[in-house]
Structure 1
Amino acid sequence: METVTLWRPVGPEELALVEAAGWSAWPPRLPEQPIFYPVLNEEYATKIARDWNVRASGAGFVTRFEVRKAYLDRYEVHQVGGRTILEYWIPAEDVDELNRNLVGQITVVASFS
C-alpha cells in the first residue's frame, strides 16, 4: 500500500483535539473552516506553525501523518505561492473519510512558542 506523507501546522486547540482522538484522527471542521489544508512539505508547515499559529494562539505545532495515496489521488495539489508552497484542499465533509485513510498515527515533529 503506497502512502503520501503530509504535514499540518496546528495551534494548541486543534492539537488537543487530535490528542483526544488518540492521535488517529483530525477533528471535524468548524463552520467557518470549509476546507482541510494538509501541506506537502515540512518547511511550509514549519513556516505556518512558527509565523502564524504562534502569533494567533501563542503556540504552533507541526504534525506529520501518512495517507493512502489511492485516497489522495482524487484531489489536486494546489500551488498557493512559491514552488514549494503546496497543499491539498479537502472539503470539510470529506474529513471523516480522510481519517479512515490515515495510516499510523499523527505525530508532532516540531513545536514553537
Structure 2
Amino acid sequence: MSGTTTTTTTLWRPTGPEELALVEASGWRGWPPRLPEQPIFYPVLNEDYAIRIARDWNVPASGVGYVTRFEVESDFLTRYPVRQAGGETILELWVPAEELDEFNAHIVGTIDVVREFR
C-alpha cells in the first residue's frame, strides 16, 4: 500500500458572525478575501488565545464571537514565521491578504466552529 501522508498543523481563528457566514458560504473550506483595511489574515496557534479574542473582542463588537479550528499543510506554513503578539502563548501567523487564496488551497478538511460566546 503506497501513499503520502500530509502532516498538518492545527490553527484557530476567532471570528464574528459576518466572517463566519462567508466561511459557511465557502462550504467551510476557506477564508473570505480581506477587506481593504485588512492587509493581513491572522490565524492563531492556540485555542486559549482564540477564545480570549472571540470572547473579549468579538462579543462586544458584534454580540457573538466564534472560535474556529482548521488544519493546514505544515510544509506550506513554513513560509510564515510565528509572531509573538504579546505574552508567551499569544502566537499568530501573518498571512498577507494577497496570499489568502493560496493559503486556503492548503487547508486540509473543513473549518470547524468549536466554541461560541454571546
Alpha carbon RMSD of aligned pairs, Å?
0.4
Output the TM-score relative to the length of structure 2: 0.95
Number of residue pairs the alignment of both structures matches = 113
Unaligned 5+ segments in structure 1 are none
The answer to whether 1:7 aligns with 2:12 is yes
Quick one: which of 96, 111, 114 aligns to 1:109?
114
Over residues 13-61 of structure 1, what are the superposed CA-to-partner deviations in whole Å (9 max), with x where a residue is unaligned?
A: 0000000110001000000000000000000000000000000111000
Identity %: 69
1:1-113 to 2 correspondences below 5 Å: 1-113=6-118
| Runs of 4+ deviating beyond 2 Å | none
Q: Extract unaligned runs of 5+ from structure 2.
A: 1-5
Q: Larger C-alpha radius of gyration, 1 or 2? A: 2
The alpha carbon displacement at 1:83 in A equals 0.5
Give the Cα–Cα distance (whole angstroms) in 2 for the partners of residues 80 and 60 of structure 1: 20
